[in-house]
């Protein structure tokens, strides 16, 4: 039965949910009004004020969540859980009834519902495993004010018709009290996942029977506008949710999980995953209470909060949370590597980290164009600071990534520390070293790991040179580089493109250093945005051709003769051997080295007589397009770098530190051509 309008009642108007916050008169108006808080705050006009007076308060922090409406406005009709299930997964109505199903009684048409039709619908409902009845104006097991016997009968009917439901979503409905949740769970003996997102509870007093909640392993309470006090009410009974493993509390506006001092906070030992996204946490001090309430938690997500530091009380929290293995702090306000440096101390067993989309890692677009390695730098400098990581921003960290990242981090740290110590010559050495260790806490450990000279040790004891690798050895190209390091894999690449207009042929080119490990698709994206080429290139409408230093034999005359002689007939074994012998006996490596040397002579000499004399001695000539030796033509080998591949572009490059790559634009055929 309907109990009328009251503060706290949930209503729906044309599919838009709201909660009654006020029922009474307004100054300067006649009759009475309903003050409602809309679930969608953009639908309202104010925050509960009328002519400057605060009539009621909203739970939402939005300034436009409230409206005043007339009580005579008709709300949407409500349904029970079973009615909503039948509507969505059963026949739902008499639509589609054929003429054979109709009977006429006293001139009135009635539907004949046979046992076969009922049996099919019941079988369909009995097979349901996942049921989503959110946003269907569901008000509970039965309408408000129903007797206990009626509720029990409805539970038995739901249990008989849907015995296999394991996941139920009743979020964004008109359920008002937490006590209405337990009867629903009691009717579904196999239920393990319960989604209550968007419900706005007027009261959170639990039912006396908490056994049905003990079966729940995954609980969703997103956008319920719950407070820490509310959470104490929900989880206060130790017997309820005793097997809960995953808890979702996103978008509740939480700033803390600590309730009032006179109440003991709840504790759920079984929980392993906690999601606190889109709340208002400012730092990681919240982890102290998280690990107290959930002592076995391994995964914590604090995405899209307001976290900017490790702690507001000091530079680093004194607590250590060894149970946490996965942390998500992406989309926050982290702007310093000091936060990353503190993670190994606070979370010694951290293996998975998401930290993208923070000010520290958001790269300027122009910087990314000018420096293709910009996105790799943050990745390397982060993984090097947290030695236990195996996954960073969903990317697996392999041994090669870790080695490159740590060596690159050492090179950056060397420069930072050298600059620091150069400014601290007249200061206390101990103070300078303490500052250095604060800036780069992992530096000395990694320097020892790679047997590199420590700048800190050299500063403390300049005479203790031991001949280990120094910064200069890492940066100087003429010296040996650590195997597998990022610097060792840098390639100086010259990209050029020939463009033709109506009068002249021009060439555009640029040269920069690239790691051979970046994907081919990313390389093409960088070139597409480069100022030297962006006016001439279109996405996916150009090829990259690597001009190798290797030479391949070319003989167009012999090739055409061979084709005309052999195409169209089967060759005998003797004919095949004869054709193969035409290539002659030659040493490929010797010919290539000789040809490159002579090509340089041909290109740099201004005296044609000298060229002819030298090439005659070495048996080389040139026709402008090919190098010729003993009547055979040779040309540089060309290798195309394929489109749309995530493989490193260096896979198509030979072991060379200086390469030349040609850009060839082309027109993509239009549809239908």
Q: What is the mean pLDDT of residues 428-439?
A: 88
Candidates 250, 246, 328; CA nearest to 287 is 328
Q: Tell me: the pLDDT tens digits for 110-137?
A: 554 555 665 666 678 899 999 999 999 9
Q: What are φ and ψ of residue 514, in 5° steps? A: -135, 140
Q: What are φ and ψ of residue 499, in 5° steps? A: -120, 140
Most confident of 238-252, 261-275, 594-608, 658-672: 238-252
Q: How confident is the model at residue 271 (pLDDT cuts 50, 70, 90)?
A: very high
Q: Is 447 in contact with 482 (CB distance < 8 Å)?
A: no
Tell me the sheet residues that pair with 542. 665
Task: Tell me the C-alpha distance between 133 and 368, whole Å.
Answer: 46
Q: Tell me: the pLDDT tens digits for 456-473?
A: 888 888 765 554 544 443
Q: Tell me: the pLDDT tens digits for 34-70?
A: 999 999 999 999 999 998 899 999 999 899 999 999 9
Out of 24-28, 96-100, 268-272, 516-520, pick the least confident: 96-100
Candidates 149, 110, 117, 129; CA nearest to 192 is 129
Q: How many CA atoms lie within 13 A of 341 on its CB side?
A: 16
Q: Is 30 helix (H, G, I), strand (E, B) or coil?
A: coil
Q: What is the mean pLDDT of residues 15-38?
A: 93
Q: pTM score, two decimals?
A: 0.67
Residue 611 in this model has a pLDDT that exceeds 50: no
DSSP 343-368: HHHH-TT--EEE--SSTTT---HHHH
Q: What share of the chain is helix, strand, coil (3-state, %, to 5)?
A: 30, 20, 50
Q: Tell me: the pLDDT tens digits for 281-311?
A: 999 999 998 999 899 999 999 999 999 998 8
Residue 655 in this model has a pLDDT that exceeds 70: no
Q: Is 646 helix (H, G, I), strand (E, B) or coil?
A: coil
Convert 520-551 to b/e letters by CB count within 10 Å (16 or more is b).
Answer: bebbbbbbbebeebeeebeeeebebebebbbb
> Percent of the chain scored above 90 by pLDDT?
43
User: For residue 266, how many other CB atoms are within 10 A of its CB?
Assistant: 19
Query: What does the block give as tokens for 399?
Result: 């041994």
Tell me the sheet residues that pair with 327. 300, 353
Q: What is the mean pLDDT of residues 598-603?
A: 54
Q: What is the mean pLDDT of residues 247-258?
A: 93
Residue 544 in this model has a pLDDT that exceeds 60: yes
DSSP 134-203: TTS-B-SSS-TT--HHHHHHHHHHHHHH-TT--EEE--SS---BGGGHHHHHHT-TT--EEE-TT---SB
Q: What is the mean pLDDT of residues 470-489?
A: 46
User: For residue 115, how many other CB atoms are within 10 A of its CB?
Assistant: 7
Q: How confident is the model at residue 526 (pLDDT cuts 50, 70, 90)?
A: confident
Q: Mean pLDDT, the chain, as a whole number?
A: 80
Residue scoring higher pLDDT (576 or 229):
229
Strand bridging mode 391-392 / 352-354: parallel
Q: Tell me: the pLDDT tens digits for 335-375?
A: 999 999 999 999 999 999 999 999 888 754 445 555 556 66
Residues 6+ positions from 422 with CB-CB distance below 8 Å: none
Task: Tell me the C-alpha distance between 575 and 381, whole Å.
Answer: 62
CA 384 to each of CA 321, 355, 402, 405: distance values in angstroms, whole numbers, following the listed order: 21, 14, 7, 6
Residue scoring higher pLDDT (420 or 249):
249
Query: What does the block give as tokens for 430?
Result: 């101990």
Q: Tell me: the pLDDT tens digits for 151-190?
A: 999 999 999 999 999 999 999 999 999 999 999 999 999 9
């Amino acid at each position: 039965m309907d109990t009328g309008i009251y503060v706290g009642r949930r209503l729906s108007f044309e599919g838009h949910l709201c909660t009654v916050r006020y029922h009474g008169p307004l100054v300067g108006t006649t009759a009475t009004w309903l003050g409602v808080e809309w679930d969608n705050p953009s639908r309202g006009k104010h925050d509960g004020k009328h002519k400057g007076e605060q009539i009621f308060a909203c739970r939402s922090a939005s300034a436009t969540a409230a409206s005043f409406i007339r009580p005579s406005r008709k709300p949407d009709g409500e349904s029970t859980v079973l009615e909503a299930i039948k509507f969505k997964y059963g026949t739902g109505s008499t639509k589609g009834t054929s003429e054979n199903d109709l009977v006429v009684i006293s001139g009135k048409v009635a539907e004949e519902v046979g046992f076969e039709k009922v049996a099919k619908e019941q079988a369909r409902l009995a097979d349901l495993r996942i049921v989503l009845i959110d946003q269907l104006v569901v008000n509970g097991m039965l309408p408000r004010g129903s007797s206990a016997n009626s509720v029990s009968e409805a539970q038995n009917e739901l249990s008989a018709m849907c015995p296999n439901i394991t996941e139920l979503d009743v979020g964004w409905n008109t359920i008002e009290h937490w006590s209405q949740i337990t009867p629903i769970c009691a009717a579904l003996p196999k239920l393990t996942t319960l989604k209550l997102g968007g419900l706005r509870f007027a009261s959170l007093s639990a039912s006396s029977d908490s056994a049905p909640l003990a079966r729940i392993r995954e609980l969703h309470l997103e956008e319920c506008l719950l407070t820490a006090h509310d959470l104490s009410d929900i989880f206060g009974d130790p017997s309820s949710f005793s097997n809960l493993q995953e808890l979702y509390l996103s978008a509740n506006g939480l700033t803390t999980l600590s309730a009032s001092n006179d109440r003991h906070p709840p504790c759920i030992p079984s929980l392993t995953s906690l999601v606190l996204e889109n709340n208002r946490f400012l730092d990681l001090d919240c982890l102290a209470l998280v690990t107290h309430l959930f002592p076995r938690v391994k995964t914590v997500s604090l995405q899209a909060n307001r976290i900017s530091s490790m702690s507001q009380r000091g530079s680093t929290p004194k607590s250590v949370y060894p149970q946490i293995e996965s942390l998500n702090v992406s989309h926050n306000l982290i702007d310093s590597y000091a936060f990353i440096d503190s993670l190994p101390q606070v979370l010694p067993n951290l293996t998975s980290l998401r930290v993208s989309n923070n000010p520290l890692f958001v790269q300027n677009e122009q910087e990314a164009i000018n420096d293709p390695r910009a996105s790799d730098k943050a990745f390397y400098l982060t993984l090097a600071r947290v030695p236990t990581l195996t996954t960073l921003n969903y990317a697996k960290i392999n041994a090669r990534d870790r080695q490159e990242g740590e060596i690159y981090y050492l090179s950056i740290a060397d420069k930072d520390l050298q600059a620091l110590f150069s400014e601290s010559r007249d200061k206390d050495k101990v103070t300078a070293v303490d500052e250095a260790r604060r800036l780069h806490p992992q530096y000395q450990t990694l320097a020892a790991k790679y047997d590199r000279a420590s700048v800190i040790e050299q500063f403390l004891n300049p005479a203790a040179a031991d001949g280990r690798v120094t910064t200069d050895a890492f940066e100087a190209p003429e010296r040996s580089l650590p195997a597998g390091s990022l610097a060792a894999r840098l390639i100086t690449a010259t990209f050029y493109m020939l463009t033709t207009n109506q009068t002249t042929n021009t060439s555009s080119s640029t040269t920069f250093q690239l790691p051979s490990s970046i994907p081919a698709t990313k390389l093409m994206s960088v070139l597409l945005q480069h100022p030297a080429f962006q006016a001439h290139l279109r996405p996916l409408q150009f090829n990259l051709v690597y001009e190798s230093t290797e030479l391949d034999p070319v003989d167009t005359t012999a090739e055409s003769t061979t084709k005309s002689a052999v195409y169209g007939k089967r060759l005998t074994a003797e004919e095949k051997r004869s054709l193969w012998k035409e290539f002659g006996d030659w040493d490929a490596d010797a010919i290539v080295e000789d040809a490159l040397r002579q090509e340089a002579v041909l290109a740099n000499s201004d005296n044609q007589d000298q060229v002819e004399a030298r090439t005659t001695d070495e048996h080389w000539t040139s026709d402008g397009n090919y190098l010729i030796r003993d009547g055979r033509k040779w040309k540089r080998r060309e290798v195309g770098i394929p489109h749309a591949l995530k493989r490193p572009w260096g896979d198509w490059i030979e072991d060379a530190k200086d390469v030349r790559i040609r850009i060839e634009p082309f027109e993509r055929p239009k549809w239908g051509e």
